[in-house]
């Protein structure tokens, strides 16, 4: 896209109006941090200009330097023409109040497990200080492992991913939060390299997109590592392995928390004998299940 007469954009308000209009006209797909054109435009403008992300109003009528205007227009152009997710443009993603470095080596964090960790998984965990060993399977950027370490302060965390490039990003985030002594990054295909380790809490946001949905992904999602999204014909390939092997890696009172996207109906059909407990999230109770170790042992997973 070629912008006409850039000098017409004198203030942040001008650019915000313009970007919002262009994002809507282009039919961009949101879901990597923002849910609509206005919020995404505001975030990209404030971030590009190194302004506080929570203080748009005081700066709306601030006049722009030529180089500032050019920087913002370049970002708008990249978002529209290349459909690059905003998080990859800024190398930043947020889960609640915590920010994380991201690039194309990892998917953009967007897990409901993050909000569940904020409650320390109450009422299922009544004594958070008793969580001593934790595991984050398919850690990607390391964001959930970091949140687990922050909310369960006595826990040593293993953060596992099959992708070495993803673990390089995770290391960057773990180091940023000063958690190198508590979070241990492990290259592994799920449980394969964990031998006989057992954990009080296992969480996972594994790949769960089915084949049909993968073939219809918007361009924005095609920038993400496909092996971090795709999980076979029905979207359950990774979840099947987790259910099969989790019990042997849980302590006697250990908990398994897994996010499965829109696959609740499918997974309940495939595993009719497993008493999945679906946790309430901000989007409903269809996306994250909880199981205790004895429930896995009693099932035919």
Instruction: Tell whether 258 and 114 lie within a shared domain.
Output: yes
Amino acid 6: pLDDT? 60
Residue 273, in any domain of the structure: yes
Among candidate residues 61, 90, 119, the one where a domain is terminated: 90
pLDDT level of residue 1 (50, 70, 90 thresholds):
low
Which residues, 6 or more positions from 276, have their beta carbon under 8 angstroms from its beta carbon? Answer: 264, 267, 268, 289, 290, 291
Whether residue 222 sits in one domain with residue 171: yes
Instruction: Tell me the β-bridge partners of 256.
Output: 202, 291
Do 74 and 141 fall into the same domain? no
- Model confidence at 2: pLDDT above 70: no
Q: Give yes or no for residue 7 having a pLDDT over 90.
A: no
Does 163 share its domain with 277?
A: yes
| Predicted confidence (pLDDT) per residue in 25-36, tens digit | 999 999 888 999
Instruction: At 235, give phi and psi (nearest 5°).
Output: 85, 5
Task: Specify if 95 maps to a domain.
Answer: no
Structural domain for 231, as ranges: 105-297
Q: 86 and 200 share a domain?
A: no
The reply to whether 33 and 142 lie within a common domain is: no
Instruction: Give the distance between the most distant pair of CA atoms in the chain.
Output: 69
Dihedral (CA of 156, 161, 167, 169) sign = negative
Q: Are residues 180 and 284 in the same domain?
A: yes
In a domain, 269, yes or no: yes
pLDDT tens-place string over residues 207-260: 999 999 999 999 999 999 999 999 999 999 999 999 999 999 999 999 999 999
Q: Would the pTM of this model clear 0.85, i.e. be above it?
A: yes
- CATH number of the domain where residue 280 is located: 3.40.50.150
More confident residue, 171 or 1: 171
**Residue 1 within any structural domain of the chain:** no
> What local confidence, expressed as pLDDT, does residue 300 receive?
64
What burial class does residue 84 get, using C-beta atoms within 10 Å of its C-beta: 0-12 exposed, 13-18 middle, 19+ buried? Answer: middle
The domain total for the chain is: 2
Q: According to the model, what pLDDT value does residue 197 have?
A: 97
């Amino acid at each position: 896209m070629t912008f006409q007469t850039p000098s017409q954009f004198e203030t942040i308000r001008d650019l915000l109006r313009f970007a919002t209009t262009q994002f809507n006209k282009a039919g961009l797909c949101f879901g990597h941090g923002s849910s609509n054109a206005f919020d995404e435009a505001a975030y990209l403008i404030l971030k590009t200009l190194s302004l506080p992300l929570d203080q748009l109003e005081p700066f709306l009528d601030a006049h722009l330097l030529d180089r500032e205007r050019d920087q913002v227009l370049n970002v708008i152009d990249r978002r529209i023409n290349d459909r690059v997710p905003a998080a990859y443009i800024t190398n930043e993603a947020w889960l609640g109040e915590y920010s994380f470095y991201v690039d194309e080596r990892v998917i953009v964090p967007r897990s409901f497990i993050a909000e569940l960790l904020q409650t320390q998984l109450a009422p299922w965990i009544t004594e958070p200080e008793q969580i001593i060993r934790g595991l984050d399977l398919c850690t990607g950027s390391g964001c959930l492992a970091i949140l687990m370490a922050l909310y369960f302060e006595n826990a040593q965390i293993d953060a596992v991913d099959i992708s070495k490039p993803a673990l390089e990003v995770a290391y960057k985030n773990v180091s940023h939060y000063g958690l190198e002594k508590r979070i241990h990054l492990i290259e592994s295909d799920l449980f394969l390299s964990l031998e006989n380790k057992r954990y009080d809490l296992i969480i996972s946001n594994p790949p769960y997109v089915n084949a049909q949905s993968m073939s219809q992904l918007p361009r924005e999602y095609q920038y993400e590592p496909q092996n971090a999204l795709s999980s076979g014909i029905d979207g359950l390939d990774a979840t099947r392995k987790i259910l099969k092997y989790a019990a042997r890696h849980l302590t006697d009172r250990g908990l398994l928390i897994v996010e499965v996207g829109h696959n609740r109906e499918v997974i309940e059909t495939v595993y009719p004998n497993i008493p999945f407990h679906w946790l309430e999230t901000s989007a409903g109770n269809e996306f994250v299940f909880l199981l205790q170790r004895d429930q896995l042992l009693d099932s035919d997973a």
